[in-house]
Amino acid sequence: MSAGKFEYAPAPESRSVVDLRSSYGLFVGGEFVPTADGRMFKTVSPATEEVLAEVTEAGTEDVDRAVRAARTAFDSVWGPMSGRDRGKFLFRIARLIQERARELAVLESLDNGKPIRESRDVDIPLAAAHFFYYAGWADKLEYAGFGADPRPVGVAGQVIPWNFPLLMLAWKIAPALACGNTVVLKPAETTPLTALLFAEICQQADLPPGVVNIVTGAGATGQAIVEHEGVDKVAFTGSTEVGKAIARSVAGTHKLVTLELGGKAANVVFDDAPLDQAVEGIVNGIFFNQGHVCCAGSRLLVQENVYDEVLDRLKRRMATLRVGDPLDKNTDVGAINSAEQLRRIATLSEVGEAEGAERWSAPCELPDRGYWFAPTIFTGVTQAHRIAREEIFGPVLSVLTFRTPAEAVEKANNTPYGLSAGVWTEKGSRILWMADRLRAGVVWANTFNRFDPTSPFGGYKESGHGREGGRHGLAAYLRAGNPKEAARA
């Protein structure tokens, strides 16, 4: 074999497990209903541009109906229900996600473009794990450290992005429901289908009508949810720009808000790191999910004396990445989620070249149809370059160097963001020294992009505020029974 790829026969996952409808209504009050004042739009497979289904673009009247359904369910059923009984519903949902995992994984890969290996092995199992984890909390909230008698907030309005559609839904819905809130959730315009299948799962679980409402649509639908006065809490994941607009719109209202926004994480490789493992971590850090990851390790900081060796190994590894059909089980890197996102990635990459950085892309054949971008690295990047400062949200890595640990910290923290960071070194003491100084919500040591429902996740600075996951993730969905105890928690 040459230095290139092994030849594999195609190993496509079957689509037959997915039963796509030609069009979808809104999920309000436990039923799929037609729009009162909205329109329809199409959702496509980004790998082929094939239209998958027609979906409803909810208008303000639809959003109002969904918020009212959520309020009724909160007042009459879900709020008064014992935590033990709420927990049973969450366990049931978790088990149904597991039972229908293959269907969900195929649908996610079709609608989002991510490799089936990732939707099957990461997104869907983690989504189920979030429901299992928060199901366990539902009857133990008084021991969570938020007062003796913590109360739900009420109706949560939740707006999520397209990069991990079902997983972000689980991050939002599982803790909200466990704490006794009801929800109105809007999936992203380009990836609504697994949220609609989740609505069917809610029906299958006999979840009381109105506890979960799914309204599809674009930015205006999200805005209508955020601005609705019947919403008590807003939870948003997406771009920093929209996050800032949401913070402005809820300022001065009764609404609580958590924001999980962008990132430009540093992945720091010291000269004593196990380099082969570090290269795997670099690849996982930036090419997992096509780099559509808010905590992606998009800035590689390499200690200068191992720079040549790391770059050499990284390029060799990148040349083996298999880019193509998301439903093929051999695929490592799938399609870019939308034409718009592809344009954004291409534009910022052109800016990188124009600013003098050197571009190298993995040799690979890209399919003719659909939205594709070859895994790419930029070397000769300085901190002033836009590709070192702005979130590209694609398979594009900016490589910088450093000499001393202090310089690594200074460069890593030189960003308006602070969501995550990675450190690669053999020395435990250095890991702790770095973790103390890195201004990032998550610091991974000798690994990257690891997620677990028990572990809190969230940002510093412009990466947002509030935490999701773990015990901390409950705080956003509870009003303290005893404020003094809550302050100490």
List active site positions. Answer: 260, 294
Span near ligand NDP by CB under 6 A; candidates 143-151, 159-167, 270-278, 368-376: 159-167
Cβ–Cβ < 8 Å for 301, 337: no
Dist CA 93 CA 207 (whole Å): 9
- Least CB distance from residue 161 to ligand NDP, whole Å? 3
In the chain, count H helices and then E strands: 17, 20
Comparing CB distances to ligand NDP, the nearer of 147 and 217 is: 217
Helix, strand or coil for residue 337? coil
Token readout for 489 is: 């928690």
Span near ligand NDP by CB under 6 A; candidates 5-13, 182-190, 269-277, 280-288: 182-190
The residue whose Cβ lies closest to ligand NDP is 222
- Residues between 240 and 269 that touch ligand NDP (CB under 6 A): 242, 245-246, 261-262
Comparing CB distances to ligand NDP, the nearer of 273 and 397 is: 397
Dist CA 358 CA 356 (whole Å): 6
Token readout for 386 is: 């836009």
Please compute, for residue 120, the number of CA atoms within 13 A of its CA located in the half-sphere on the CB side. 16
Exactly one of 391, 434, 473, 474 binds ligand NDP (CB under 6 A); that residue is: 391
Dist CA 329 CA 102 (whole Å): 13
Dist CA 161 CA 159 (whole Å): 7
Please report, for residues 113, 166, 201, 334, 370, the alpha-carbon distance to residue 329 in angstroms, rounded to integers and kept in the order given: 13, 20, 26, 11, 19
- Residues between 268 and 307 that touch ligand NDP (CB under 6 A): 294
Span near ligand NDP by CB under 6 A; candidates 59-67, 186-194, 273-281, 346-354: 186-194
- Residue 368's Cβ-count burial label (10 Å; 0-12, 13-18, 19+) is exposed
- Residues between 438 and 467 that touch ligand NDP (CB under 6 A): none
Span near ligand NDP by CB under 6 A; candidates 104-112, 160-168, 199-207, 421-429: 160-168
- Least CB distance from residue 394 to ligand NDP, whole Å? 8
Site mask, ligand NDP, residues 92-131, x = CB under 6 A? ----------------------------------------
Fill in the DSSP letter of residue 443. Answer: E
- Least CB distance from residue 217 to ligand NDP, whole Å? 7
Comparing CB distances to ligand NDP, the nearer of 246 and 266 is: 246
Comparing CB distances to ligand NDP, the nearer of 163 and 425 is: 163
Query: With DSSP H G I counted as helix, E B as strand and the rest as coil, what are the percentages for the chain, rounded to 5?
Result: 40, 20, 40
Rule CB under 6 A: is residue 161 a binding residue for ligand NDP? yes
* CA angle at 62 for the pair 58 and 63, rounded to the nearest 5°: 90
Size of the site for ligand NDP (CB under 6 A): 26
Exactly one of 72, 98, 203, 239 binds ligand NDP (CB under 6 A); that residue is: 239
Partners of 234 in the β-ladder: 157, 257
Helix axes 240-250, 219-227, angle to 10 degrees: 30
Comparing CB distances to ligand NDP, the nearer of 104 and 345 is: 345
Rule CB under 6 A: is residue 215 a binding residue for ligand NDP? no
Rule CB under 6 A: is residue 159 a binding residue for ligand NDP? yes
In one letter, which amino acid is 259?
L
Please report, for residues 8, 54, 279, 423, the alpha-carbon distance to residue 446 in angstroms, rounded to integers and kept in the order given: 30, 44, 11, 6
- Least CB distance from residue 32 to ligand NDP, whole Å? 20
- Least CB distance from residue 405 to ligand NDP, whole Å? 28
Exactly one of 393, 402, 417, 444 binds ligand NDP (CB under 6 A); that residue is: 393
> DSSP assignment of 193-218, as one string?
HHHHHHHHHHHHTTPPTTSEEE----
- Least CB distance from residue 486 to ligand NDP, whole Å? 28
Token readout for 286 is: 């930036």
Dist CA 308 CA 314 (whole Å): 10
Dist CA 154 CA 180 (whole Å): 8
- Residue 484's Cβ-count burial label (10 Å; 0-12, 13-18, 19+) is exposed
- Least CB distance from residue 458 to ligand NDP, whole Å? 11
- Least CB distance from residue 172 to ligand NDP, whole Å? 11
- Least CB distance from residue 339 to ligand NDP, whole Å? 12
Site mask, ligand NDP, residues 57-76, x = CB under 6 A? --------------------
- Residues between 310 and 349 that touch ligand NDP (CB under 6 A): 341, 344
Residues that bind ligand NDP (CB under 6 A): 159-163, 186, 188-189, 218-219, 222-223, 226, 237-239, 242, 245-246, 261-262, 294, 341, 344, 391, 393
